[in-house]
Amino acid sequence: MSRYDYIIVGSGIAGLYTALLAKELGSVLVITKGSIDDCNTKHAQGGIAASVGKNDSADLHFQDTIAAGNGLSDEEAVRILVNEAPDRITDLVNLKVPFDTLEGSIALTIEAAHSVPRVLHAGGDATGEHIEVTLSKQAHLSKIQILEDCLATEIMIEKEAVKGIKTLDYRTASIDEFSCRFLILATGGAGQLFKFNTNSDVVTGDGVVLAFNTGAEIVDMEFFQFHPTALRLPGVTPFLISEAVRGEGGILRNVNGHRFMPDYTPEADLAPRDVVARSILYEMKKTGSDRVFIDATHLPPHITTTRFPHIYRFCLDHGLNITKGLIPVAPAAHYMIGGIKTDNWGETNIAGLFAVGETASTGVHGANRLASNSLIEALVFGRRIIEKTRERAKGKAPAASLGTEVHHSLSQRQVPKVIPTLNLSALQQLLWDKVGILRDQQNLTKAADTLAAWQKSLVPPTDRPSYELNNLVLTGRLVTEAALLRKESHGAHFRSDFPQSSPQWQHHIMFTR
């Protein structure tokens, strides 16, 4: 059995940045189920948030993050994020990430729920892609070993601590075991749960399931962020239309051309994502349409084409010139706010097991993620993981001790009289229809019963599609059961049968196996 100091599962910004730091301390293996470039990072158009502007401060960034988190953010974790963010931007500059500049300074834009411009971008709307390409180039130049087309299937535990990981090479069907001192899960979210999503095909809840099956704590799964504006064209996969388009002055209109957001909230087009997504749903229902439109035609064409070259080109390739015509959009699943519970150093309740990026729940996002806080969160807590393991190696840092929460187990469910045939399409339709932006007891119960029945019917997985489907069923159960338990509306979780938030729910819902 090959042994490494660090094994990192996942090759997005969280995995690669952490791997580049870890290689200074020991041997590193990165395991990724696709190629090193298959991840969600490259889909991050808007940018990365840090208080580097002259009218900004860590305190302002803190206040905006806490406000977006709707009372459920961990204040200490948020302080860490906002205080360390500028230094992590310096790291990216030193790694040669080509941030856009204006008159010699890094250009900043404003996005919804930020009080000042603090979002850095690269290549206009290609920020995630530029960071990903830069990091993967550095990883290839380094001594990091990268294992592609390999699926992590089970975490090995010995004496209540991580021992290593089992993998399936699905090209050869060989099963291998690798041992390590520290295992870091950086597998991304679970956007493929939903029929309409902005995520890469590889994002199937793998890290959450690996951790859950090992006994790690999973928290805040009811909070799933739906991006309000994904391109809605017949036969075209949903494509993210960045919030920054509205930040630059784009306006939402319904099918009749009416600017509707001021009807719902004083913040209008720059309200928090959950408010905009629900407002769009209501407006679509009101007008009997499956879409609304972003109007950017009043912006100078050179602003649109240079600030949003990816969006402009993608739309143009599908017959739409966004400098002259309206952009048809509708909400789509975007970001998993909950995940594997970690402390402020990225460690779980299992010694030696860490999580970072979208698969982790650091406590920063609370009930609703502030736009562009996800990429910076991956960097800040990735570095903290390496600092913690450096101290652990010296025998100075104790194992994680996480705060106590109300623990839940997945409940027994009634078997429905009619169980739909399980496949990816049926699962995505079920979650979209019954566990989507608007939720209620009846639909959530139907989804929970169906998912439990599907889970009972699963056979042991043997290849990548079957592992991914198994992982999505279990992750879907965690999301649905948490949404059923939280009988209130809070941030990204909205119950039409409990439309108000309730003080008695100012706590987190946690699952353990």
What gap in Å lies between CA 280 and CA 449, rounded to an integer?
A: 29
State the DSSP H helix or E strand holding residue 441, giving kind and residue range, or none if neither: helix 441-457
Say how far apart CA 504 and CA 11 lie, in whole Å. Answer: 39
Do residues 368 and 274 lie in contact, with contact meaning Cβ atoms separated by under 8 Å? yes
Residue tagged 């949003």 (tokens): 308
- Using CA atoms, how far residue 227 sits from 112, 312, 351, 372, in Å, is 12, 19, 35, 12
Q: Is 86 helix (H, G, I), strand (E, B) or coil?
A: helix
Task: Please give the single-letter amino acid code of residue 486.
Answer: R
Integer Cα distance of 307 and 329 in angstroms: 19
User: Read out DSSP for 122-191?
Assistant: BTTT-HHHHHHHHHHHHHHHTT-EEE-SEEEEEEEEETTEEEEEEEEETTTTEEEEEEEEEEEE-----G
Integer Cα distance of 407 and 405 in angstroms = 6
257: left (phi over 0), alpha (psi -120 to 50) or beta: left
Q: What are phi and psi of 173, to 5 degrees?
A: 65, 15
> Of 88, 246, 273, 383, which one is the catalytic site residue?
273
3-class secondary structure, 36: coil
Q: Is 273 a catalytic residue?
A: yes
Distances (CA, A) of 2 to 27, 175, 214, 308: 11, 13, 21, 45
Catalytically annotated residues: 273
